[in-house]
Copies of this chain bind each other. A is one copy, B any other.
């Protein structure tokens, strides 16, 4: 069994931890955290460590911490020439100390602590400094996901921007939808099938051709009525800008 060590305790670290614990081919060697409490119910306590000096040998060390902490963590590792990957969508390979063999293990998914995720379906975006490490990373990744991709730094950067649009921003539109429902005493439940269908549609139709609604129809009466309805100036601006953007695509 291949040994993997996780460093970090945030959403990505915890979902990775669960995926590795569920895998019959990977062995979770240790998890290094700042506070034991953050993961103590998830795993055998003897595997939780808080000192870099207690790190045992592993086939892969995954640094799953915030972007700004990656460099410091990589410098703190008390060994060299081992395979070390970060999980960031943004940071380049050389954000890590060069004393180890650097790699990226970026799971392209939105993780919240209270919602479980089928890790087998999470696209893993992998990158390494040399071909051997890339092969090793691919093998390790494929033990927890069926969706393993070789993605270079430039592609990863663009993917991360795209992910913000399709996930964070889409979710913000759901928040606005919920807000409008609340203000008008309507249950948000009624919008959920529409949200689900809109997302599922892209598996059948590319989104450009799946577009419906007043903007793509050029239905100016409805657009004007909606803008008139939206007293919140921020929502009004978002409505205008996205309507124009849809119409530029026609």
* Residue ranges of A at the interface with B (Cβ–Cβ < 8 Å): 11, 66-68, 90, 108-112, 114-115, 117, 121-123, 125, 147, 149, 151, 154-155, 157-178, 180-181, 183-186, 188, 190-217, 219, 221-222, 225-226, 229-230, 234-235, 237-239, 241-242, 244-246, 248-249
Enumerate chain B residues within 8 angstroms of A121, measured Cβ to Cβ: 193
Q: Given A109-B193, A158-B183, A191-B108, is A207 in contact with B175 using a C-beta cutoff of 8 Å? A: yes
Within the complex, what minimum Cβ distance (angstroms) separates A209 from chain B?
A: 8
Number of copies: 2
Q: Which residues of B contact A181 (CB under 8 A)?
A: 158-159, 162
Q: Let me know if A194 and B177 touch, CB within 8 A.
A: no
Q: Is the CB of B186 within 8 A of A198?
A: no
**Of all chain B residues, which has the CB nearest A249?**
B175
Is A171 within 8 A of B210, CB to CB?
yes
Partner of A221, one of B67, B203, B216, B242: B67
Which residue from chain B places its CB closest to the CB of A168 in the assembled complex?
B213
Residue A230 contacts which of B115, B161, B211 (CB distance < 8 angstroms)?
B161
Task: Assess whether A169 is in contact with B229, with CB atoms less than 8 Å apart.
Answer: no
CA distance A178 to B211 in the complex (A): 13
| Closest chain B CB from A185 CB (angstroms) | 7
Is A204 touching B114 in the complex (CB atoms < 8 A)? Answer: yes
A115 — which chain B residues lie within 8 A by C-beta? 201, 204-205, 210
* Nearest neighbor of A245 in chain B, beta-carbon distance: B234
In the complex, which residues of chain B have a beta carbon less than 8 angstroms from the beta carbon of A203?
192, 196
A193 engages B147 (CB within 8 Å): yes
